[in-house]
Amino acid sequence: MIKVVVDCFGGDRSPQANVSGAIKSLNENNDLYLILTGDQEKLEKELSLYTYDKSRLEIVHAKDVISCEEKPTDAIKKNKESSLVVAYDLLRQNDEINALVSTGSTGAVLVGSVLKVGRIKGVNRPAFCPILPTMKNTFVGVCDSGANVDCDPQQLVQFAIMGSLYMQKMFNIEKPRVALLNIGTESTKGDALRKETYELLQNTPSINFVGNMESRDLLSGNYDLIVCDGFSGNVLVKSTEGACLELMKLLKKSFMSGIKNKLGALLLKKEMYRIKNYMDYNNYGGGVMLGTKKTIVKGHGSSKDTAIYHCINQAYNMEKSKLREFISEEITKQTSKE
C-alpha cells in the first residue's frame, strides 16, 4: 500500500478540487491509501458527493489554514493546527506514510520539507523541481527552482544527479540530457559558480551532461533537465510561464476584436484550446522536492481537480518507482568519492 497525505486546504480551489482530485486518484489505484487533512466537517461534506473505497481513505482534522501572506518559517513552526503542518507531522511521525501533496503556500511547503521531513543522507540541500512541456512533446525539469537561493557548485551537482534520476524514472528517459543554465553556451561563460559547476558536471559520470543552456532554449525540447541555483531557476520558470500566459491573453483579446477576427478565432477554437491545454500545468501535476526523506509534491496554488489528481498520481508513481532509494544510492556513491 502506498500512503499519501493530502493537504486539502491552502489552494485557491480548496477543498473542492483537492477532494475531487483525491477521489479520482484513489479510484484508479487499488493500492493507494489517502489521508486528507483539513476541516473535518467541510471534508466530510465534500466527500459525501463521491463513491469510493472508504477503507482506503481517512480524514485527520486540522482547523487552520496557512495563508500565502504568512512567513513560511513562522507558519510551519507556529501554525500547528494548519492542514499543512498536520499533514507534515503525520508524514514525519508515521513510517508507513510515503508522501505528501499540497497546493498551499510554496514557501511553507519548502520550509516544511526541510524542518519536518529532513534530507536523505548525503544530500546537502533538497531541491525543488517543477516540469514544463516543451515544443517537442517532451517535458523539461528545472532543478532547483526556488528552494535554495544561494548555492555552491557541489549542491548544483547534486541537483543534477537527483533531477536526472527523476526525469529518468518518471518520464522514462534513458539518459536525460542535463544542461547547466548559463548566459551563453560556451564553457567559459558565466560567473564563478557556473564555471566551477561546469567542470564538476563534466566529471560526473552518472549524468549525461550536454553543456550550458541559454534561457531562450528552455522550451526547445533539446534538454531534459536544467540545473541552476534556486534564484535563477525561479526566474527561468516564472518568466517562461508569465510570457506564455501574457501572450495567450493578448491573442485572446485581439482575436475578439472585429467580426473577421472573431470568425477566424471560431475556426481555430479547437486548436487554440488544444495549445492552451498543452501548456496548462493542470494537466501534468506539480513540482517535486528531490532529496527529502519522503516524497513531496507541490501543486500550483490555483490547481484544479485534474492538477491535484495528477499530483497524487505523481507522488504514487514516485514511490512505486523507488526514486528515493535510487537518489540515496547515487548520492552515497557520489559523496563517498569526494
Footprint of its own copies (CB under 8 A)? 71, 107, 135, 146, 149-150, 181, 183-184, 188, 190-192, 194, 214-220, 230-232, 234-251, 254-255, 257, 260-261, 263-268, 271, 274-275, 279
Closest CA to 279 of 151, 171, 173, 131: 131
Q: Report yes or no: 81 and 96 within 8 Å, Cβ to Cβ.
A: no
Residue 278 or 325: the one with the smaller Cβ distance to its own copies is 278
Closest CA to 35 of 80, 82, 101: 101
Residue 206 or 261: the one with the smaller Cβ distance to its own copies is 261
Tell whether the torsion through CA atoms of 65, 81, 148 and 102 is positive or negative: negative
DSSP assignment string, 88-146: HHHHHH-TT--EEEE-S-HHHHHHHIIIII-BPTT-SS-EEE-EEE-TTS-EEEEE-SS
Nearest approach in angstroms of CB 198 to its own copies is 13
Interatomic CA distance for residues 330 and 118, integer angstroms: 18
Nearest approach in angstroms of CB 165 to its own copies is 25
Nearest approach in angstroms of CB 306 to its own copies is 21
Q: Report yes or no: 328 and 184 within 8 Å, Cβ to Cβ.
A: no
Nearest approach in angstroms of CB 190 to its own copies is 6
Residue 49 or 243: the one with the smaller Cβ distance to its own copies is 243
Tell whether the torsion through CA atoms of 164, 165, 169 and 170 is positive or negative: negative
Residue 205 or 258: the one with the smaller Cβ distance to its own copies is 258
Nearest approach in angstroms of CB 110 to its own copies is 11
Residue 115 or 244: the one with the smaller Cβ distance to its own copies is 244
